[in-house]
A = this chain, B = another copy of it.
Amino acid sequence: MTAGADDTRRGGGYRQAGVDLTAADEALGRVTELVASTYTAGVLKGLGAFGGLFELPAGYRAPVLVASTDGVGTKTMLAGRRGAYTAIGRDIVNHCVDDILTQGARPLFFLDYVASARLRPEITAAVVAGVAEACREAGAALLGGEMAEMPGVYAADELDLVGTVVGVVEKDLIVDGSAVTEGDALLALPSGGLQTNGFSLARAVLADALDEPFEGGTVADALLAPHRSFLQAAVPLLDAGLVHGMAHVTGGGLPGNLPRCLPQGLGARIERGSWPEPPIFELIRRRGRVDEAEMARVFNLGVGFVLAVAPGDVAKAVRSCPEPLHRIGEVVAGEGVVWG
């Protein structure tokens, strides 16, 4: 009878000692350097046997921690078919970082969870490599993680990938949408694709089309377009104090997410066609005969992140931003999203 240890824990760069070298341990060995490469000044090294330790940077007057847990959904299935494991590792970090960015928070650290019926070391290492890369880019320490083997719980060759980010924002700099007023301009950062939402529908529609050539690659490539991090693009606008509210466009699309950053009594008028829609959405719309309301509710349709700024600050916002911003609409009296 073999050991059947269910899991291997990482914390503070430690390996779990005294346990047989299982597949999980082997993968862990490969990723140790990658994890260490993410360590920022806050990480207390060599201390975290059971949990990762992170010293809050000095100088905050009233630090507020902002935390979010998320998964990449069934994008894992498509990524698995295509070996895009590093890509989904990056996706989960960027997704979580974008979530807390909406409140003005910068990431401090990240923890990941990878589970499968059987862990294959090369797959786990590829996932964590992507997680570590994206953490480095975001300035987030990969503080801990868990790799779990759960035969019977997961379908063969499938995996789940879950991330948790913890960030910080000065209390009086929290962006909660309360500053949004009627007439504010809505500026979009483009998504480039599905990000990590809508894969159940997309896979259903395009199941037989994955290998078809599409936009210089395949349909699968287009579906697997990275979940972008909007941190670098939004930070200059935040630092300049231009931002009244922000929304990360995930499951629920613009109608499901944009109202979350608007005060009671305010809605958004969005001009269709005011931003470039990645071609993959038209393919899904056409092949699946998906009506427009559903398209807008399930997919981001090319709008990854929305910033509300005063109309008089739009030019300054555009100049501050290191990438093009698309003015997609404005804040109006009412509620929800109306299409113009």
Q: Is A11 an interface residue (CB 8 A)?
A: yes
Known contacts A160-B115, A256-B18; is-contact A68 B49 (Cβ 8 Å): no
Q: Are the C-beta atoms of A204 and B158 separated by less than 8 Å? A: no
4 closest cross-chain pairs (CB), A and B: A6-B73, A4-B200, A4-B201, A49-B260
Partner of A67, one of B16, B52, B99: B52
For the complex, is A144 an interface residue (Cβ under 8 Å from B)? yes
Q: 28 A-B contacts, Cβ less than 8 Å apart?
A: A4-B200, A6-B74, A6-B200, A6-B251, A9-B99, A16-B251, A17-B252, A18-B337, A48-B66, A49-B102, A49-B103, A49-B177, A50-B102, A50-B260, A55-B171, A56-B56, A65-B109, A65-B166, A67-B109, A67-B111, A67-B166, A69-B146, A74-B152, A76-B153, A113-B113, A146-B162, A153-B155, A160-B160
A281 close to chain B: CB less than 8 A: no
Interface of A is mostly: mixed
A186 at the interface (CB under 8 A from B): no
Q: Are A152 and B294 in contact, CB atoms less than 8 angstroms apart?
A: no
A148-B73, A197-B6 as given contacts; A50 in contact with B256, CB under 8 Å? no
Q: Which residue numbers of A lie inside 8 Å of B, CB to CB?
A: 1, 3-9, 11, 14, 16-20, 44, 47-56, 62-71, 73-74, 76-77, 99-100, 102-103, 105, 108-109, 111-113, 115, 143-146, 148-155, 158-160, 162, 164-167, 171, 174, 176-177, 197-201, 204-205, 247-248, 250-252, 255-257, 259-261, 288-290, 294, 297-298, 336-337
Contact A153/B74 with A62-B55, A66-B48, A112-B69 known, Cβ cut-off 8 Å: yes
* Identical copies in the complex: 2
Do A151 and B19 touch across chains, with their CB atoms under 8 A apart?
no
A76 CA to B20 CA in the complex, in Å? 24
State whether B51 touches A100 (Cβ < 8 A).
Answer: yes
- Report which of B1, B55, B56, B252 forms a contact with A18, defined as CB distance below 8 A: B252
Distance in angstroms between the alpha carbons of A87 and B99 in the assembled complex = 30
Q: Contact at A148–B201, with CB atoms within 8 Å? A: no
Known: A5-B251, A198-B6. A176 touches B49 (CB 8 A): yes
| Cα(A43)–Cα(B164), bound, Å | 18
Supposing A7-B251, A77-B152, A252-B18 touch, asked if A68 and B50 sit within 8 A by C-beta, the answer is yes
In the complex, the answer to whether B260 meets A14 with C-beta atoms within 8 Å is yes
A255: chain B residues within 8 A (beta carbon):
18
